[in-house]
Chains A and B, each alone.
Chain A
Amino acid sequence: MDVFLGSMPDVLATTIRMTVPLLFVALGELFSERAGLVNIGLDGLMTIGAFTGFVVGYQTGNLWLGVLCGAVAGIAVNLIYAFCTVSLRVDQTVTGMAINILAPGIATFAYKVIFGDGSTLVQGTTMDKLAIPGLSAIPFVGDILFNQTLLAYLAYIAVPLCWFYFARTRGGLNFRSVGENPQAAETLGIDAIKTKYLASIVCGALAGIGGAFLTLCYTSTYATGVVAGRGFIALAAVIFGRWSSVGILGATLLFGFFDAVQIALQVSAPTVPYQFFAMIPYVFTIVALFFFNAQKGGPKANGKPYFREER
């Protein structure tokens, strides 16, 4: 246990690293759900983002281009979701599941086409950490918060931006109204269909970036299953965070912390089978939801298909 406490700064730094991908994806889901679209295809979107980010980063050597392409790939796949759920009114859960099956299929297929069927994973590079001068010199906190990758800083900025957009701008309020009552929103001249598509684009981009973070800032390789259910954990984080960007930040930090703790425990207690530690994030997600579940409180028209002609 002493070893564990001694590694606390490490654990907290890892917490930030494990939080960032969750945060990106959960914020993406926030946009989606605020427009009334419950997207359970996040795992798939992350997978395609992780894969595209890795391949582009590996082939071009430009990791930022990788992040960008990860976002674009996320958008492309999520537009399938948007078209099915918004224009064709297919059940959102069913479409999300289809995305969860399609995206990893595309990723695995393309990986094998590009890198062959070998069993050794292709090693890429990860982004360098970027210490912010001044801030990173703050004792204890500085090294944890301000010695991260640039992508992590972007996540920090995204939270207040999302909060400001949804709480303080007319556009954000209009956006939210689509998730609450699309009929009423349309009578006020807000294009609900357009908003839903816009939400899907933002969600796809953020989930793609979250996925790209995994391969470009964390593992440096792409392997099937790299996402490991993070899309669903992010889904839980949105509920746990009560559909607010600040709440989501808190929830993802907590989930990230437990992920970091299990990594630290695996190192510090090698006698205990690592599998039991690896279960911690999944069990904790269930426990957190069990005690802090919100059956109500989300956008009112969340998950419901919108019929413009329906009266």
Chain B
Amino acid sequence: MSRFTKFGKRYRDKALGIVIPIVAILLAFVVGAVIILFLGKNPIEGYGLLFSGALGNPGRVAQSLMSACPLIFTSLAVAFAYKCGVFNLGGEGQFIMGATVTMMVLQVTGIQGVPGILLGILVGIIAGGIWGLLPGIMKITRGLNELITTIMLNYVATLFMNYIYSGPFHDPDSGNLQTPAVADSVNLIRVDRMHFGVIIAILMAVVVWYVIYKTSFGFKIRAVGINPTAARVAGFPVKRLVLLSFIISGAIAGFGGSVDLLGRQYRLMTGFGSGFGFSGVAIALIAQLNPIGSMVVALFFGMLTTGASSMQVGIMVPSAILDIIRALIIIFAVSGMALMKLPTFKNLLNRRPMDQEGLMPPATGDKKVEVSE
């Protein structure tokens, strides 16, 4: 009985989709501030340092962008797969495999310059794709839950990388467990203070958005994600689409691994890629699986990562507080969206505009909403 037109409703849902994450972020920061206060420190000073540390000067901004770059890739990987109903928790493993294989191939072949970069990225994409393909095959043949298999493969990938940097590719000149740095000539081209990979990541978000929302392939992927049975009835090759989404998701994460290796880290070492998979999940969920939204949230998370150390040094609050804040953002964001779907809230939302326009005849009301388009 609502006087909202279909369009008006969709418009409102879209607006809520932006408002809720912002409120969630603010709320999470308030909780973070309470924790900081509880430790007897000044949260305003802390957050000031956080943001000046992330954006204070061009160098910092570049650092934030480069921290965001791998997160953009892993969050896109999660968002793409989830659109097809696949919950890929293996972003970390795919990211690590991409970087590890890139490193191995470049070390073994010794190819220099742009061909080296292209080859490195190509094998990284393939390695990530294969690491995504494995749980995909397990899912479509035996129905294995990808939540479990992708996590298990994360551990296998981390251990494999560990073997690579402490065994055959260990840097003989270093006492630490790490590989030697990749040759200077295969480092990603630098644009001002940041590497070119950031631009690739941003373009990637646009491409993924386009593929998901503007192509027939993306339509099929979404159809499978919303209702696999209906998609099968409609004649879509569901299993093939699910498998493809696994591969593409893995490939995106593997791409990210190569880019992070060649643009920022240059070598494999303990902790490489650690936590990027789960951060990607967090980002994609906060952005409600929208690729462009994921990119924006990833940029924000990159900022937090960069600013965290300034805050830690400045007011002596462990940077791990940001992990808590990040998790709270997801909880608040998804709870907020779920809250809007509860019948009580739905009624409340639908009633309020009606009261305001209650005096107008329905036709005018509808027209008014259309005009505001």
A contact residues vs B (CB 8 Å cutoff): 40, 80, 84, 88-91, 93-95, 97-102, 104-106, 108-109, 112-113, 117, 228-229, 232-233, 235-236, 239, 273, 275-276, 278-279, 282-283, 285-286, 289-290, 293, 295, 309
Contact = CB atoms under 8 A, between A and B. Distances in A.
Given A89-B342, A95-B334, A295-B143, A235 B282 contact: no
B85 to A, nearest CB: 11
13 contacts: A89-B338, A91-B338, A95-B334, A97-B281, A98-B327, A100-B278, A105-B326, A109-B35, A113-B39, A229-B152, A236-B148, A282-B152, A293-B142
Given A89-B338, A108-B320, A109-B323, A285 B148 contact: yes
A275 B327 contact: no
B331 A285 contact: no
B159 interface: yes
Given A101-B326, A273-B167, A286-B138, A90 B320 contact: no
A293 B323 contact: no
B323 A108 contact: yes
Contacts, number: 133
Contacts of B166: 273, 275
The range of chain B's interface size is 35 or more
A105 B148 CA distance: 21
A124 B147 CA distance: 34
A105 B323 contact: yes
Given A89-B338, A90-B334, A117-B318, A286 B162 contact: no
Nearest to A44: B327
B13 to A, nearest CB: 17
B142 A290 contact: yes
B124 to A, nearest CB: 21
A4 B330 CA distance: 47
9 closest pairs, A vs B, by CB? A105-B323, A102-B327, A112-B318, A109-B320, A275-B163, A108-B320, A295-B143, A282-B152, A101-B327
Interface string B144-173: 110111011111100110110011000000
A289 B151 CA distance: 13
B320 A275 contact: no
B259 to A, nearest CB: 24
B226 interface: no
B19 interface: no
B16 to A, nearest CB: 15
B155 A97 contact: no
A84 B327 contact: no
B323 A279 contact: no
Given A97-B285, A295-B143, A289 B148 contact: yes
Main secondary structure of the interface of A (DSSP, over half): helix
Given A88-B338, A108-B323, A286-B138, A279 B156 contact: yes
A283 B152 contact: yes
B6 interface: no
B256 to A, nearest CB: 19
A278 B338 CA distance: 40
Given A102-B328, A108-B320, A84 B338 contact: yes
Contacts of B87: 93
B230 interface: no
B147 A235 contact: yes
Given A109-B318, A113-B318, A232-B152, A88 B327 contact: no
A108 B143 CA distance: 35
A113 B321 CA distance: 10
Contacts of B145: 235, 239, 289
Contact of B149 (A104, A273, A286): A286
B160 to A, nearest CB: 7
A28 to B, nearest CB: 16
**Interface centre among B282, B285, B327, by most A CB within 10 Å?**
B327
B39 A276 contact: no
A91 B327 CA distance: 15
B21 to A, nearest CB: 14
Given A91-B334, A94-B334, A279-B160, 15 more contacts: A84-B338, A90-B335, A98-B285, A102-B328, A108-B318, A229-B151, A232-B147, A239-B145, A275-B167, A282-B152, A283-B152, A289-B144, A290-B138, A293-B142, A295-B143
B323 A282 contact: no
Contacts of B89: 97
B339 interface: yes
B175 interface: no
Contact of A279 (B148, B159, B281, B330): B159
B318 A97 contact: no
A293 B334 contact: no
Nearest to B324: A105
Contacts of B323: 101-102, 104-105, 108-109
B352 interface: no
A100 B275 CA distance: 11
A71 to B, nearest CB: 21
Interface string B255-297: 0000000000000000000000010011001000000000000
Contact of B338 (A40, A90, A233, A290): A90
**Interface centre among A102, A228, A283, A309, by most B CB within 10 Å?**
A102
Nearest to B329: A98
B361 interface: no
A228 B35 CA distance: 28
B362 to A, nearest CB: 28
Interface string B69-102: 0000000000000000001010000000000000
Contacts of B10: none
Nearest to A235: B148
B331 to A, nearest CB: 5
